[in-house]
Amino acid sequence: MTISDKIDASLCNLFIWVAVRQIFQSHPKLHVSLLWNLLAAVTILGQARPNSKQKLQSNSGLQSDCAGNLMRLSLDKALAVGNQLEVEALNGTKQIVLTPSLAAQCGYSMESDPWGNTRLYTSLMACYVDNKDDTTFNIGLRLKMYSQSPSDVVSHDVMQACSYTRWASREILCDRNFMEVSNYIATPDAEAKGQTREDNSKMNTIPEASGAAHGIWKMTFYTPEPVSMVLKEAEQAGYGAMMTSNRLVMRSPYNTAETYSEDVAGVPMEVFRVSAYYKAPHGLNVMNLAAACPTGGVLFTEAVISWHVPRRVTPLIDGAFKIIEMHMGINGQRLDKSQMATLGYTLSTTDFHIVIEIPVGSPDGYYKSHAPDYQYHITYSVEPMLEVLWRADNTQDDTRYKVLFPITTPLMPRPPHYQDNTVPEDRMFSVHVGTFIHDVELRNITFSTGVLTVDESNARGCTVQEHSFPNGTKSFSLKVPFDADVVLKHNPEPLVTNYFLPLVFGFIILPEETPFAHPVDIQASLEDVVLPTVTGNCDDNLFYVSVTYGNQGSNFETMVGPRQLTADLAESYRFNENGTHFSLIVPYTAKDMAFELLTSDSVRARLDMLLYDPINNWVLADLYLACNFPLTTTTCYSNGTITALAVKVESVPNLIPSWLTLRDQSCKPTFSDDRFAYFSFSADSCGTTRTFFDNYMLYENEIGLYYNNKQNHNKQNHNKGAAYTSPIDPDYKQTISCYYVVNDTQSVAFIHKPRNNEPAAEIGSGQLMVQMMLSHDSSYKLFYQADDFPVVSYLRQPLYFEVALMQSSDPQLELTLENCWATLHEDRMSLPSWDIIVDNCENHDDGYVTLFHAVVSDSRITVPSHVKRFSIKMFTFTQDEAVLRDEIYVHCDAVICDVNSRADGACGGQCVQTAGMSTSRHQGIKGVKREQRSTDSKHHRRLSSGPILLLNNGSKL
């Protein structure tokens, strides 16, 4: 079959050429079958379409020019994208479809980037080129664009005339899909003059081996073993061979059976060697031809591509030679030195190589994104050209060596980075993700609630923007309000909110639509929690409480007293809620209220409310509201009947009201529950006493808790599992008094003068702090707090004091009580006063002897020498048999001593005076002002207790 037969047969076949890149470096010979490289399977269709309508269009978007021994045609992506492309060679009135194999055999090649920008190269020695004496070359191509509809075809005809006269004796062209060599044919002048142009032009159609008077007869290929073929066999094997008026041309695709690989100076090369036998007027001639084209030799760094070509291509050079010209180019076009310098290109030589260096990212190439294993990578592609002219020594024969060499870097990982630009005070997440090259698009974002497209994200208030940069890269930004439903929240502290925004950005690479993703987790903390608040007030019977929600809403639990506020309890407390707050109205007699203090005409009740976070067990807000409510506890009737109401107060938590009795323990409550005991008795029963005065009679009784009585109850109820108070629990005593006056009756239960100001203890100043506290009992485990004063005590009831050096662990220091005394007023120097401790010792003139108590180490006290304890019995001041006041204050002067130095008498230890020495300086109410003590502020401390209230006004000192 001749070439003409092959062309006719090719019209009956459909060829689909799929865009494939990056294969030439590892498998360069595959270019024979993978020639046309267009975006998204832009194809060449070789099947005739008899029903299609052809429309000739202008050549807008097409540009052709001549580049030495090549014609170059550029096709803009606007023409190729979305279309199928068919290329035909125009030869007179014939149109020959260029299939991949025919293109490699005839000297045509094509390169396309992924976006459809396409370049077609045609050798001036290609088939179907109108060759005029090897000086003028007319090339005709027809480009057919098939859109979605097969019947709709747009055609573009390109005619380009090129003139080229600088032929070397030997021209070698290495293109992407073929190797071509042409040698000058030397003929005698006489024979040359007898040749006609008509005969020469006909040879350019690759004549049959037996049909040309002066054509190619056969060829011997060296693989390197010799293999002989006649012209027809060589054409069937894919080789091209022809003769022009002055040159013999041989062409071979890569990776054929008759080519071989050879390592030249460390660079792999594809070698094509053949001896061509051709007929000439004077007989049969033979010509040796060879081509060697590099298939490797590229080194890569992140910044530079280095292409190494052997300086001495040994398959082409036998002896000494000299390089006459050396040029670098891009995309088949030469560059001058100034252009190379501007772009940063270099062309240099070493002993063994010619080296071209190209910066990665130069504008003559392009970047492409990839996502192997869904990880973002990029490559950079560029097509340099090397053109070298050398001459063998002792001859005028020269060789022009031209290589077009597409290069693509290996995959370079470019994991996306994100920048968190969030300013928490703006309450807006702001994140940038990048950078990417221009073929990456953001397709969707996965939030905690699901996947949203970019448009959906913007519609939901999550602002997505694309940012382009001058260097051709891009990034994407996302802004999400803290309050968006896609944001997760957590409170590590009561006032702090941690905001979390987990994201997965979903990208695609165009035009292949290859997906990849990048996860990003950002968080921000902000002290933005507004806690709920509780306020309240009282009237004569009720507590009114209002709870205002914070910015976390009603996300908390409520405790009222010891119980959680359930729906049933809220209903009983008249719960009302309106979305921003809720309110309660609570009777002071409710079970959850605490009674603090009972007076003759009122009871002080307290409402405790706690708002807490049940997950973290945080207290968010609390309210301790205490109010005095009118309450008559004793009623005296004119017929002698007396009624009394006893109330369980907070200071006796284990009290069971039913255990209370009058002095006569057989007189029990007529009614009782867990909080109240009600007594009704006559004035001449239950141990009531009577006292006569000038104008009135006084009847008195006492409600109390007697241990013998409790023990009897215990014996009677030991099987009932009831809890009972122990002898160390506080006694409960409530005095009942009725004054009967002529024609008048009144009742009192306590004699008490309400305080006007909160008591305040005087604290010594300096580097060391000393504190005086009043204990509930001799165990010194539980102490009265500032809010507990005035403390109520009975006459002769012990008062237990503790004075301690605070915030010091130095065992070389000792605390000593120098003087302690009692006054009626808060002023420590006021009169009258009574000495309790004088010169480190108890006052032996006092009928109620002061007792010192030993101090030992325990979990609270680590240095016993820092603590002093003493007790006195409760008393009151009288004058002329009258009680001056029902309150006393206790004051002390304390000295901090160095245990290693006893020079100061005050530091000689507690109680150092000699026996028989008077211990009282200013006793009674002699009206003498206590001396102002001169103390060193570095060692002495002055302390005072809060007021201590006497419960029984009838007692005297």
pLDDT tens readout for residues 233-273: 999 999 999 999 899 999 999 999 999 999 999 999 999 99
Q: Which of 261, 132, 152, 245 is nearest to 192 (CA)?
A: 245
HEC readout, 11-60: CCCCCCCCCCCCCCCCCHHHHHCCCCCCCCCCCCCCCCCCCCEEEECCCC
pLDDT tens readout for residues 898-915: 777 655 566 766 674 433
pTM of the entire predicted model: 0.61
DSSP assignment string, 239-252: -EEEE-SSEEEEEE
Q: Which of 668, 646, 615 is nearest to 750 (CA)?
A: 646
Residue 241, token pair as written in the block? 């061979």
* Backbone torsions φ then ψ of 233, nearest 5 degrees: -65, -40
Instruction: Report the alpha-carbon distance of residue 696 to residue 744 in Å, rounded.
Output: 9
Other C-beta atoms within 10 Å of 744: how many?
Answer: 10
Query: Rounded to whole angstroms, what are the CA distances from 729 to 86, 647, 651, 652?
Result: 109, 17, 9, 7
Residue 952: its pLDDT value, please?
A: 52
Residue 21: its pLDDT value, please?
A: 33
What residues in the chain have per-residue pLDDT under 70? 1-60, 80-83, 148-150, 187-214, 695, 707-731, 741-768, 807-808, 880, 901-906, 908-910, 912-941, 950-957
- Which residue carries 């009782």 as its tokens? 672
- Residue pair 735/702 in contact (Cβ under 8 Å)? The answer is yes
Other C-beta atoms within 10 Å of 811: how many?
Answer: 12
Cross-sheet strand order for the sheet of 671-672: 634-636, 641-647, 676-682, 671-672
Which residues touch 319 (CB under 8 Å, ≥6 apart)? 392, 393
- The C-alpha angle 842, 911, 820, rounded to 5 degrees, equals 45
Residue 953: its pLDDT value, please?
A: 41
CB neighbour class for 798 (10 Å; exposed up to 12, middle 13-18, buried from 19): middle
Q: How many residues does the chain have?
A: 957
Instruction: Report the alpha-carbon distance of residue 348 to residue 355 in Å, rounded.
Output: 5
Instruction: Report the alpha-carbon distance of residue 269 to residue 261 in Å, rounded.
Output: 6
Helix, strand, coil percent values for the chain (each to nearest 5): 10, 45, 45
Instruction: Report the alpha-carbon distance of residue 75 to residue 122 in Å, rounded.
Output: 14
Instruction: Report the alpha-carbon distance of residue 930 to residue 940 in Å, rounded.
Output: 17
Rg (CA), the chain: 57
- Which residue carries 């890269």 as its tokens? 473
Counts for the chain of helices (H) and strands (E), in that order: 10, 70
Instruction: Report the alpha-carbon distance of residue 337 to residue 801 in Å, rounded.
Output: 103
DSSP tag of 17: P
- The C-alpha angle 711, 717, 718, rounded to 5 degrees, equals 80
Q: Which of 893, 889, 886, 878 is nearest to 937 (CA)?
A: 893
- Residue pair 142/108 in contact (Cβ under 8 Å)? The answer is no
